Structure 1
Amino acid sequence: MTQTDAHAVFILRLKQARKAMGLSQTALGIRMGIPEETASARINRYERGTSEPDLRTAEKIAKALNVSLSWLVCTDSRLAAAIESFSSLDAKTQEAFLLKLQAAAKKTKVKSPKPVAKKAIKKVTKTKR
């Protein structure tokens, strides 16, 4: 899978991650704080694509599955693999790897986000930790 529709990717990865954790649809819903009576039906609708979760709900899904929201919706399979690998590293290793990655990007003259965007990303990242 390379580039594809983000919603289709979300559906695929939601099922994949839930099954990899050995969770039923009901169990996943309960982990997200959905009442047991409606948990299975809600997750089922997300997995069939008949309903799309809002951003806050998608974040709850990612947290309940111990994956990043970025990985759940990333349409580029190589980038998704990088996100998954990066997420598994401790914070110190992530920082060191990020510095190396940014240095490599500079050498290849790949444009990185504008300084304002970098500051905003760092601010959001720090508040989440």
Structure 2
Amino acid sequence: HIVQSWLHAAGIDYPLVDGGYKALRQTAIQATIELAQKPIVLIGGCTGSGKTLLVQQQPNGVDLEGLARHRGSAFGRTLQPQLSQASFENLLAAEMLKTDARQDLHLWVLEDESRMIGSNHLPECLRERMT
């Protein structure tokens, strides 16, 4: 709670999660499981065909490679190091929640990915829905 106090003193109100990081992690996992139940449109195609750009242009698109900081099999890693698995999953949950909150989503638009995106793997709930 010390950091929370410092932030508040600096004029930054940031919500405190009861239960700390473990509770936040469980919330992120559960959100991904629930949001992954919506229908998914998969964008597939040859390397360099613009799949990622197409996904990024959709209001209900989630750029899995971007979240994983990976540019695809032919282009490899980005200049930024890949996130830990937990950080990738937390970021994915946050992105799905933000995207879902912006509109009344009925489906997701995702690039067809394999189980692994660089060193990160897709959460099982999402991978199952993509097969």
TM beyond 0.5: no
Which structure shows the bigger proportion of residues in helix conformation? 1
Q: TM-score range by the shorter chain?
A: under 0.3
Structure-2-length-normalised TM-score? 0.27
Bigger RCO of structures 1 and 2 (CA < 8 A, at least 6 apart): 2
Which structure shows the bigger proportion of residues in strand conformation? 2
Structure-1-length-normalised TM-score? 0.28
